[in-house]
Structure 1
Amino acid sequence: MIRVEHVGECCTITLARPEKANALTETMLEGLASAVTRTTAKVLILTGEGKVFSAGADLDGMKQGLGLSPAWEAASGAVAAFPGLSIAALNGTLAGGAMGVALACDLRVSVPSASFFYPVMRLGYRPQPSDPGRLAALVGPSRARMILLAAQRIDAETALAWGLIDRICPPEALIDTAMSLAEAALAADPGHVAALKRMTNGDAP
């Protein structure tokens, strides 16, 4: 349910459970974290199969306590710690806990039909600990509250205007757009990429 492909210095990880809208199970989260941790690629692209990036948590898993699993933080933490350039290529809607791994990426590109929502207020769950801070860092505190507290679903144009995503492109151009954004990082020294990434995170070079 997690497909990993290496082409040159680029690692593409695909959520491959389209029959369930790529809803995330604990096994998928563990596989994602493991794949990100193991790769030595310069660039990481995270995408989904089908028309939805991910509907969030697997519902059967939630009944068994998936919402409290440390696998969520392990997966988003692995993406955030990746030393190269990470890009979420959002092939469709991004929902719920799946937002964590996308927020942990350095850049996000999306198809026009995608929508974005994190329905923890309506469902009575809490977001994963790192997600609200990463969300607020991208869109600002008030807009983060619009998504989390007011339970607003936003479209791709709004997500672009708010800074949640960085580009909108046709579905057939999604991966090519991600690769075009990765060209400079792929051509650079890995240490230089890591240093610039630390600086944009507010860390010492």
Structure 2
Amino acid sequence: MIELAKEPSGLWIVTIDRPDKANSLTEAMLTELAEIAEAAGEARALILTGAGKVFSAGADLDEARAGLATSDVWERLSGAIAALPGLTIAALNGTLAGGANGMALACDLRIAVPGAKFFYPVMRLGFLPQPSDPRRMAALIGPARTKLILMGGQKITAEDALSFGLIDRIVDPDALIDMARDLAADTLAADPAIASGIKELCR
């Protein structure tokens, strides 16, 4: 349910492929994603996307009730993505919900299709978000808008997400991966030490 394509250029494309369940994430899927991210230090750039019309609905509900909602695997995944030296891009093919926000927030860039929605109803479900998620979200959109999403329970449109700074571009669905490739092109062509050096200076 996780697909990985490694290209000769050094581009890795990771696809969450469980569209019949809105790409909801099981512990096995999250572990596989974390293992890929931990091995992706050799990648020059990484694109994270989903199959179908939803990027991810967050945790699989049955597994969430059984403890996945509070598992450390979410932080393991987002931490591994955030630590990568190459450019990381979340190409959001649809709605981003719940704990799946963490992996997108950990990426360097986020692009999304026009119909995407963004929400994180963790408080309503009776859980705290993973510790790094509010910090990363607040760094992008500020504390008040972060509380709007996490405490106000608001579902944000792609247009609002763009105006807030939560995403960087709105892209036609047919052009989503092409745009992600275009954003990665200069990094793939650069000296890896220079690219990683610029990323470190931006931290």
Distance 1:170 1:183 in 2: 19
Question: Could you tell me which amino acid in structure 1 is paired with residue 168 of structure 2?
Answer: D
Match of 1:192 in 2: 194
Q: How far off is 1:5 after superposition?
A: 0.3
CA displacement at 1:121 relative to structure 2? 2.2
RMSD of the alignment, in Å? 0.7
Q: How does 1:22-37 map to 2 (within 5 A)?
A: 22-37=23-38
Report the secondary structure of 1:127's partner residue.
coil
Secondary structure of the 2:179 match is helix
Aligned to 1:2: 2
Note the alpha carbon deviations across 1:82-109, whole angstroms, 9 max, x for none.
Answer: 1100000000000000000000000000
Which runs of at least 4 in structure 1 moved beyond 6 Å after TM superposition? none
Q: Are 1:121 and 1:150, in contact at CA under 8 Å, matched by a contact in 2?
A: no
1:57 is matched with 59
Question: What TM-score, normalized to structure 2?
Answer: 0.97
The code of the aligned residue for 2:134 comes to P
- Per the alignment, residue 121 of structure 1 pairs with 123
Count of paired positions = 201
What residue is the counterpart of 1:20 in the other structure?
A: 21
Q: 2:118, 2:158 within 8 Å by CA — same for their partners in 1?
A: yes
Cα distance in 2 for partners of 1:97, 1:171 equals: 23
Question: So what's the TM-score if we normalise by structure 1?
Answer: 0.96
Structure 2 match to 1:67: 69
Aligned to 1:41: 43
Within 5 Å, which residues of 2 pair with 1:163-174?
163-174=165-176
Native 8 Å contact 2:70 2:127 kept in 1: no
User: Structure 2: which amino acid aligns with 1:118?
Assistant: Y
Structure 1 unmatched ranges of 5 or more: none
Question: Unaligned stretches of 5+ in structure 2?
Answer: none
| Distance in 2, Cα, partners of 1:60 & 1:106 | 31
Partner deviation per Cα, 1:42-79 (whole Å, 9 max, x = no partner): 00000000000000010010121001211110111111
Distance 1:147 1:47 in 2: 22
Check the 8 A contact 2:96/2:118 in 1, yes or no.
Answer: yes
Say if 1:53 and 1:92, in contact at 8 Å, map to a contact too: yes
